[in-house]
Amino acid sequence: MSAWSEPGSRAGEAEPAAAVRVRDLRVELGGSSILAGVDLTVAVGEWVTVIGPNGAGKSTLLRAVGGLLTGAGEVALFGTPIRALRRRDRARVVATVAQSPVVPAGMSVFDYVLLGRTPYIPPLGRESAADLAAVHDVLDGLDLGGFGRRELATLSGGERQRVFLARALAQGATLLLLDEPTSALDIGHQQEVLELVDQLRREHDLTVLATMHDLSIAGEYADRLVLLADGRVAAAGPPEEVLTEHLLGLHYRAHVRVIPGPHGPHVVPLRRR
């Protein structure tokens, strides 16, 4: 699904702004170049997943898109440069689920998801009935209705991942940044979480920018993949174009077989000898 090809759009009209537009993004951390001129566009409603070996800069890229770190170059969300968005306004546009979110000790599931409403609560003010209702709605929608009083730290990995998503959804942002949302989960819970993200994306017209390590699963859910290597985009396009034995051998030093599947290529690791 792409906003560029909407039936109503005519030649000569301004193109609708992309959800994410990154141009020549350069980030240095600790004196090293981490992102060395990255371009990335995510159309409204699209799901793009960034893949790439450990240390390629995937998390750094998501942090820059979420406004959590600043680099040189251009990052714009829905046509507005991220530097021009104040923190509260930014939080209404983009919600991030970090690679390993900090779980506050002793916090209940309900209070954790309520943190997502922070951009709507006036400074020094209290949450409104509408904020509480929003949290209840999101918890019910994610089958977490019975978990509100549970301490977050006591949940299983899959339940906790749903709560992290719930917090992001309660934030009401239309762009979701998901950094390895399924790495800690077994194969069944991985599918459950990704199907849920896809369903929510359709129901709420969300745009998804994710990172993922499982390449077959990455290709099954994303409209497009971006292969990041050494802080640069090495390849980008539909999963069949990016998940090739040649590119994965080159950039991961992996020995794999790629087999066409109904929802994208399956990447099967093969032992070398």
Give residues in contact with Mg ion (CB under 5 A): 58-59
**Amino acid (one-letter) located at 209:** L
Residue 207: both structure tokens together: 């745009």
Site for ligand ADP (CB under 6 A): which residue of 18, 22, 25, 34? 34
- Alpha carbons within 13 angstroms on the beta-carbon side of residue 258 total 18
Query: Which of 9, 29, 205, 268 touches ligand ADP (CB under 6 A)?
Result: 29
54 binds ligand ADP (CB under 6 A): yes
**Chosen from Mg ion, ligand ADP, none, partner binding at 123 (C-beta under 5 to 8 Å by type):** none
Which of 209, 203, 205 is closest to 222 using CA atoms? 209
Segment interacting with ligand ADP (CB under 6 A) among 56-64, 124-132, 155-163, 215-223: 56-64
For position 55 contacting ligand ADP by CB under 6 A, the verdict is: yes
Task: Give CA–CA dist 170/245, Å, rounded.
Answer: 40
Between 162 and 201, how does the x/- string for binding to ligand ADP read (CB under 6 A)? ----------------------------------------
Smallest gap from residue 59 Cβ to ligand ADP (A): 3
* CB of 160 closer than 8 Å to CB of 103: yes
Structure tokens at 19: 């959800």
Nearest to 167, CA basis, from 85, 82, 101, 106: 101
List residues binding ligand ADP (CB under 6 A). Answer: 29-30, 34, 52, 54-60
